């Protein structure tokens, strides 16, 4: 991946739209991929209950964060 705005980052962001964390996995960032996948899944699962309905909002915010993170990733910035 060249950097922010590259075709690879656009592909990674599109992958994260469908499955949170998949874009990070495409970029080779296993820890962040697992973090986004597990946390968004747990938030959506908890949101299915009537008592914790607000967790859908938290899950949606984390899902959006995973998309933006995949789109803005830069290898040069992560090394420093």
Nearest to 13 by CA among 79, 62, 54, 65: 65
80 residues of the chain, pLDDT tens digit each: 455 556 789 999 999 999 999 999 999 999 999 999 999 999 999 998 878 888 999 999 999 999 999 999 987 765 55
69, 24 Cβ separation under 8 angstroms: yes
Domain boundaries along the sequence of the chain: 7-79
User: Token pair for residue 75?
Assistant: 């290898």
**Rounded distance, CA 60 to CA 6, Å?**
25
3-state secondary structure of 74: coil
């Amino acid at each position: 991946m060249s950097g922010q705005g590259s075709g690879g980052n656009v592909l990674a962001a599109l992958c994260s739209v469908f499955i949170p964390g998949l874009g990070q996995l495409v970029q080779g960032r296993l820890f962040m991929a697992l973090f986004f996948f597990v946390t968004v899944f747990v938030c959506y699962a908890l949101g299915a209950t009537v008592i914790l309905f607000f967790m859908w909002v938290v899950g949606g915010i984390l899902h959006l964060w995973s998309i933006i993170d995949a789109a803005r990733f830069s290898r040069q910035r992560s090394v420093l």
